Structure 1
Amino acid sequence: MNKKRFSLKDIPGWAVMLAIFGVLYFTGLHTEVIGQVQRVLLATGIMKADVPEVSTAAGAENTSEPTLANNAEKVGAGFEMVDLNGKAVAFESLRGKVVFLNIWATWCPPCIAEMPNIQSLYDKVGSDNIAFVMLSVDEGGMEKVKKFIDKKGFTFPVYLPVTQLPEELYSSAIPTTFIISPEGTIVARQEGMAAYDTPEVRKFLQSMVKK
């Protein structure tokens, strides 16, 4: 009686997929792969960040501060951060600037997916008047974050919290992004990944810059 020879074609498709996901998971590559897939989704333009409209009058931008309900409190009082060079930074030192604050982590696929788009936004509008705070909540320490940023080649400012995150910046999801006015109030909030390098976001950020 002839024995049936084993062939790779005999392996069920579900078993192959399970094996692939297993390899990706145990090598840590699953985060990167999922992030790449989500980046393609962002590129479609269907997940643009939601910001308030900037009104115009007589063809000129209205540079008055956009406001949202229940945002009277100043953000980040007493909050301390550290940059990737180990320099301590008080969040309140950014008062007077428009702040683009993104809370992220290296293990978060949606965070990884939106980062190139945030880098593009930073390249276009980052300045002395518009500060970017890419705040990592990784528990692996500064070296892990620095290695990730160096590998990706990102140049936007990255920080880690030193003190407890202020209550007004708590979120049930990451990434979460806040846009904070020069006066220190939250004027836009986005939970989940989004595309930020859009005309609407650039215009919104620049509309709040103090002339």
Structure 2
Amino acid sequence: MRRILNKKNIINALFIGFLLVLIFVPSAKALMIRGLMEIGLFNPGTEKPKETALTSEVKDLSGIQFKDASGNIVDLGTLKDKVVFLNFWATWCPPCLAEMPSVNKLYEQFKNDKDVVFIMVDADSDLAKSQKYMDKKGYGLPLYQVASNIPEVIFKGSLPTTVVFDKKGRISYNEAGAANYASDKFIEFIKELKASNI
């Protein structure tokens, strides 16, 4: 019995237990990713994309629609002259949960700015469950579900995916995976998009 309970076996068991928790407990994985975000990993790249197929394929955003819990429809085509922060996420997705505090911080900074619009899209279309999560965490982010076809150039199915459109409706940022959207660099990026008339 003493051979089984030696220091090396106890450390190995604890390590394996830690890995199992990370694998099977989404909130534990989200907490670890959030910690990595705070030390500087997962910072979003904010270089403006060159005019490519990515930006030219979605010249007209009309008809790309999202619906809130009250049934109100938002059409991306009506949001010209606004910077749009569009995020696809789900409550079961650890990277989504990890980035949510930073998304909420960004939202808090711009929520009263009529030139910046946030659309948080619940990929499961279970707005009641998503709202319960938001309420529990104290987040005020506006929740929507998909109400039309979404072009693959905007959302390929990976969660989380964040897309930022400039005031002309062009894709200025499109990334899958968790990122720290409350970073000074990203906040400055949103401010630059807001100020730009090009």
User: What code does the residue aligned with 2:174 have?
Assistant: R
The reply to whether residue 181 of structure 1 matches residue 166 of structure 2 is yes
1:46 aligned to 2:44? no
Alpha-carbon distance in 1 for matches of 2:193, 2:19: 48
Bigger radius of gyration, 1 or 2?
1
Which of 66, 70, 76 does residue 85 from structure 1 map onto? 70
Q: Partner of 2:140: helix, strand, or coil?
A: coil
- Could you say what secondary structure the match of 2:194 adopts? coil
CA distance in structure 2 between the aligned counterparts of 1:50 and 1:33, rounded to whole angstroms: 26
Match among 121, 128, 132 for residue 114 of structure 2:
128
Q: Residues 83 and 159 of structure 1 are in contact (CA less than 8 Å); yes or no, is this contact kept in structure 2?
A: yes
Structure 1, unmatched stretches of 5+, are: 54-65
SS at match of 1:187: strand
Cα separation, 1, equivalents of 2:129 and 2:123: 11
Q: Does 1:192 align with 2:177?
A: yes
The aligned counterpart of 2:52 is 69
Q: Secondary structure at the match of 1:200?
A: helix
* Match in the other structure for 1:149: 134
Q: Tell me by how many angstroms 1:87 deviates.
A: 2.1
What's 2:187 paired with? 202
1:113, distance to aligned residue in structure 2 (A): 0.2
* Residues in 1 aligned to 2:183 and 2:158: alpha-carbon distance in whole angstroms: 23
Give distance in 2, aligned partners of 1:39 and 1:20. Answer: 17
Residue type of the alignment partner of 2:129: K
Letter in 2 for 1:39: R
2:93 alignment partner in structure 1 = 108
Query: 3-state SS of the aligned residue for 2:26?
Result: helix
Q: Distance in 2 between matches of 1:87 and 1:149?
A: 19
Equivalent pairs, count: 187
Give the alignment of 1:23-42 within 5 angstroms: 25=24, 30-42=25-37
Looking at structure 2, the residues matched to 101 and 83 of structure 1 have their Cα atoms a distance apart, in angstroms, of 14
Indicate the residue corresponding to 1:59 in structure 2: none
Amino acid corresponding to residue 190 of structure 1 in structure 2? E
Please give the alpha-carbon distance, in whole angstroms, between the structure 2 residues aligned to 1:170 and 1:47: 20
Provide structure 2 residue ranges, at least 5 long, that are not aligned to the other structure.
Answer: none
Q: Which residue identity is paired with 2:120?
A: M
Distance in 1 separating the partners of 2:47 and 2:146: 28
What fraction of aligned residue pairs are identical, expressed as a percent?
28
Shift of 1:93: 2.2
Which residue of structure 2 lines up, in the alignment, with residue 98 of structure 1?
A: 83
The DSSP-based 3-state class of the residue aligned with 1:133 is: strand
SS at match of 1:183: coil
- Return the letter of the residue paired with 2:162: T
Offset of residue 172 of structure 1: 4.9
User: How far off its partner does 1:96 sit?
Assistant: 1.6
TM superposition shift of 1:76: 3.4
Whole-Å Cα distance in 1 between the matches of residues 27 and 71 of structure 2?
27
Task: Specify the code of the residue in structure 1 equivalent to 2:36.
Answer: L
Distance in 1 separating the partners of 2:97 and 2:60: 26
Q: 1:85 offset after TM fit, Å?
A: 3.3
Q: How many angstroms apart in 1 are the aligned matches of 2:139 and 2:50?
A: 31
| RMSD of equivalent CA atoms | 2.8
